[in-house]
Amino acid sequence: MMASQPLEEMKLHEMVFSAQQGDQGIQNYLLKTYQPFIAKCVSEVCKRYIDPKRDDEYSIGLFAFNEAILAFSPDKGSSFLSFAKLVIKRKVIDYIRQIKRYPVAVSIDEELEEERMNNPSEINAVREQYYQEQDAWYRKQEILDYQQKLRTYKLSLEELTKISPKHKDARKSAIQVAKQLFDDPELKEYVERKKKLPIKVLASKVDVSKKTLERNRKFILALFIVLNEDYVYLKDYLKGASS
């Protein structure tokens, strides 16, 4: 009876209103249909893939989406999904701050006065600033963690700036070697255990000379660490550098 494709906004608002009037079937349908939307919103906060069956953060997002269904009012001047996204992110941020004790900033819609919700352009500007601040915080935490991981390999960010290959082709080649290293279970286990490259074995498996591997070994190790950890921003850098 109901299409599986995204509903038109007017139709969606009608269904939200029906749920608010006590239609449990419509409410359950919305909760099921918009699970990918919920997971995406939660993932944007957590900066990682969210498994609906395993991650507590997803449960928080699901409850928040249900709360948004019951609390939404079109008189506020925003679409339901925009409103739901804010509610989900607020609840997830609050959960992270409370349970995991991360110093996450107060949610954006908690800082906005009620009357300002009628100005969509102003809300969008403040929201964008908030998300930029959140991204900056997560990026900083990622770099701090990366610095700690580098130290276990007797490396540092300062050293990487000096040893990083100057030419784009050389960097792309090093990235490919690091990926091959990461994708090979035996070599991966060796690097994790020994904290160094298996130069001789690696040279027989990649299209790079032993001399080049020796010269770029620290840089390749640094790339391997990025691939081996849950780093969103640093992995994005690798994607750009390898293209």
- List pLDDT tens digits, range 166-193: 888 899 999 999 999 999 999 999 999 9
| DSSP secondary structure of 97-156 | IIII---PPPPHHHHS-GGGGG-HHHHHHHHHHHHHHHHHHHHHHHHHHHHHHHHHTT--
Number of continuous H segments (helices) and E segments (strands) in the chain: 14, 0
User: What is the number of other CB atoms lying within 10 angstroms of the CB of residue 34?
Assistant: 22
Identify the pLDDT of residue 76: 58
Per-residue pLDDT band for 133 (boundaries 50, 70, 90) equals: low
- List pLDDT tens digits, range 202-214: 999 998 899 999 9
HSE-up of residue 95 (Cα within 13 Å, Cβ side): 19
Q: How far apart are CA 47 and CA 57, in angstroms?
A: 12
How much is the pTM? 0.52
Identify the pLDDT of residue 100: 56
Give the residue from 108, 115, 70 showing the smallest Cα distance to 90: 108
Q: What is the mean pLDDT of the chain?
A: 81
Per-residue pLDDT band for 111 (boundaries 50, 70, 90) equals: very low
- List pLDDT tens digits, range 66-78: 999 998 887 755 6
Question: Is residue 4 scored above 70 in pLDDT?
Answer: no
| DSSP secondary structure of 22-40 | T-HHHHHHHHHHTHHHHHH
- List pLDDT tens digits, range 146-167: 998 999 999 999 998 888 888 8
Structure token pair of residue 237 = 């850098």
Per-residue pLDDT band for 131 (boundaries 50, 70, 90) equals: low
Identify the pLDDT of residue 231: 79
Query: What is the residue extent of each domain of the chain?
Result: 9-136, 153-242
Identify the pLDDT of residue 91: 86
Question: Is residue 130 scored above 70 in pLDDT?
Answer: no
Answer with the residue of higher pLDDT: 53 or 129.
Answer: 53
